[in-house]
Amino acid sequence: MARSPHVELATHGASRATGLAGRSAAVGLLVSLRPGQWAKNLVVFAALIFGHRLTDPGAVGAAGAAFLVFCGLGGSVYLVNDVLDREQDRRHPLKARRPIASGALRPGTALAAAAVLGAAGVGAAFWIRPAFGAVAVAYLALLTAYSGWLKHVVILDVLAIAVGFVLRAVGGGVAIAVPVSQWLLVCTILLALFLALAKRRHELVLLAGGATGHRPILGEYSPYLLDQMIGVVTASTLIAYVFYAISPDTAQRFGTPLLGLTIPLPLYGIFRYLYLVHRKEQGGSPAELLLNDRPLLVCVALWAAAVILIIYRPFGPWPGPRL
């Protein structure tokens, strides 16, 4: 029996709508994973570079796999966090556009995807190395606790974010079986605290009187308090890096004292970041700020290139001191 043109048109329209809805959900899921934030996971490669393993293909592969694991675990936590915060996000001028807050992605779909990503990430971590699996579980537990409780506790909220960076750095070392130095841990947690506090300040200034309606913990802070904390952490971060770069132990380990030549680059990078936070009212997303601000991106790239050049000396050994 021939089908009515109206029936065929309705069927085609329904199929097209279903396809569009499916694509919309897929796009919303991808956006909710926040690929722009994956730059935070680059700290995984710190142990690879400073542990003299950058020329080891096996170690490079393991570090790359660890990077992907943290991207998956972070994405799963972002999904859970967006589901829990969807009501508050709808009152935020920027976060209201997120797929879950805007209704483009259903909470049930997001939670199911989060469960799959979390399980896959932990399984892959244990496959890479059992010790790395333990770090991945600790990281996932910390971020889950942050989404549900720690982000509502003053000071512990930013400390939890900083410890998350430390676990990434530790995970990068564990994945390639390289001991992580105390200097790396200290510099990582201080820099992460700097970024977290700057983010809190940005939120507080951006939302003004509506800050506590979006994130109640912001009521425990003030721009002055955050500026004081940022000042302490900024000085501590720079001092820690300077001491590490000029330490005799560092010079002995890398066979050169030239790492101190890189000190101006972190100085400029942190001062540039403070300029963007205070004068341009940015800092809400450190990863996006890094990728979108060309001077800051160039600074980080030059620092990484200088460190690799000094440590690995691809053009031969550095000349010794002359009398």
Residue-wise pLDDT tens digits, 224-273: 999 999 999 999 999 999 999 999 999 998 988 999 999 999 999 999 99
Range of lowest pLDDT (64-68, 206-210, 295-299): 206-210
Range of lowest pLDDT (46-60, 145-159, 205-219, 257-271): 205-219
Question: What pLDDT does 8 receive?
Answer: 42
Q: Domain 35-179 adopts which CATH fold?
A: Tetracycline Repressor; domain 2 (1.10.357)
Distance CA 260, CA 122 (A): 38
Does residue 17 carry a pLDDT above 50? no
Question: What pLDDT does 211 receive?
Answer: 60
- The pLDDT tens digits of the residues spanning 80-103 come to 888 888 887 787 777 788 888 888
pTM, to two decimals: 0.84
Residues 128, 175: contact at Cβ < 8 Å?
yes
The mean pLDDT of 35-53, rounded to a whole number, is 91
Distance CA 195, CA 290 (A): 11
Does residue 159 carry a pLDDT above 90? yes
Does residue 21 carry a pLDDT above 50? no
| More confident of the two residues 305 and 104 | 305
Place of tokens 């959900």: 25
- Which residues are CB-contacts of 301 (< 8 A; sequence separation ≥ 6)? none
Residue type, 237: T
Residues 161, 196: contact at Cβ < 8 Å?
yes
Question: What pLDDT does 10 receive?
Answer: 37
